[in-house]
Amino acid sequence: MSARRPPVDGAPPRAYLPFERPLATLDAALARSAGARRRRLVRERQRAAAAGVARLTPWERVQLARHPDRPSTLDYVARLCDGFTELHGDRLFADDPAIVGGLARFAGRPVVVVGHQRGRDPAEAIERNFGMPRPEGFRKAIRLFELAERFALPVLTFVDTQGAYPGIGAEERGQAEAIARSCATLARLRVPVLTAVIGEGGSGGALALAVADRVVMQEHAWYAVIGPEGAAAILYRRGGDDAVARSSELLRLTAADLAAVGVVDEVVREPAGGAHRDPRRAATILGRVLARHLAALVRRSGATLARRRYARYRSVGTTFVSRTNVAKARGPR
């Protein structure tokens, strides 16, 4: 596996998205400044970054979730967990590097950590299949979930994938069955399951790690049954920025949209401009939220956790349906 290069705290990003370009000038000036001028420029950059993301469209938020400098699962594990020991393989076919997992300590508790890993540079992205798991990745996750229950350890998952890999080999080895069994395994666990959507949350590849007691989502992440490009191909039978942008709006895939209908429990704010602008601060904020939810979950019995988790996913979408029915009954404004 190629060496990973995590984002450097305080350093300018390696890439600027179109709507981030006004920040490039400020970052260049910051690199040449010192003292009082530097402090002034830092404040100015923070204001400009915050103002920029406040105006983002859903499609632009998707692009921000895909930012090459955005922190990944292993970046957060390195900053939030102690003594992480990665475990490999599904004991059936192979090890899938698109899903990473193992044992660690988080907030003073031993936990099992599982998450998608996309790869930071082109070589690592290819090795990790751009974070798109094959069946052996989901079966590795299942093995770790069962390990967590065997030793009564909470499960912490990080979601960041465009979706499960749709290749012929993956389908031949039972991709759909592996996803379904991962969901079923999580659903019946009698230990706490806590999920953080940290980037992209595409389709069953995301849900396979997200059947949880609590789901939190960073404010510039997205989570939906399909990605914007796939939705545009189905709805409009074409690609192009206009169709993809419109699909992003229709999918209601932003953190605010999903919190409003109860799909996620809490939106986790990010540093001004996004998590990639200040990875250390992003990890600190996320870690505090996860620790708070985990502390509440560990007080519940295994039977209560499984029962409430089942009820939670039976009721997903009812908030949206009820609000839609109310709006239809009232008629057009």
Average pLDDT, the chain: 88
Angle value at C-alpha 197, between 221 and 318, nearest 5 degrees = 95
d(CA 98, CA 175): 14
Question: Which range (56-65, 97-106, 146-155, 290-299) has the least confidence?
Answer: 56-65
pLDDT-based confidence at residue 16 (cuts at 50, 70, 90): confident
d(CA 257, CA 201): 14
- Indicate if the pLDDT at residue 33 is higher than 80: no
- Indicate if the pLDDT at residue 288 is higher than 90: yes
pLDDT-based confidence at residue 3 (cuts at 50, 70, 90): very low
- Indicate if the pLDDT at residue 9 is higher than 60: no
* pLDDT of amino acid 4: 43
Higher per-residue pLDDT: 83 or 1: 83
pLDDT, tens only, 178-213? 999 999 999 999 999 999 999 999 999 999 999 999
Whether 132 contacts 161, CB under 8 Å:
yes
What proportion of the chain, given as a percentage, has pLDDT over 70? 90
* pLDDT of amino acid 14: 65
Q: How far is CA 47 from CA 255, 269, 271, 300, 319, in A?
A: 22, 15, 11, 42, 35
* pLDDT of amino acid 131: 95
Each domain of the chain, given as residue ranges in start order, spans 61-325
How crowded is residue 259: how many other Cβ atoms within 10 Å of its Cβ? 17
pLDDT, tens only, 308-331? 999 998 888 775 555 555 445 455
What average pLDDT does the segment 121-136 reach?
A: 94
| CATH 2.20.25.10, applies to 61-325 | no
pTM for this predicted structure: 0.87
* pLDDT of amino acid 11: 55
- Indicate if the pLDDT at residue 241 is higher than 60: yes
- State how beta strands 193-202 and 109-116 pair: unpaired
pLDDT-based confidence at residue 12 (cuts at 50, 70, 90): low
Which of these, 187, 173, 104, lies nearest to 138 by C-alpha position? 173
Whether 25 contacts 50, CB under 8 Å:
no
Angle value at C-alpha 259, between 210 and 298, nearest 5 degrees = 50
| List of residues 6+ apart from 265 with CB closer than 8 A | 214, 215, 216, 259, 293
- Indicate if the pLDDT at residue 6 is higher than 60: no
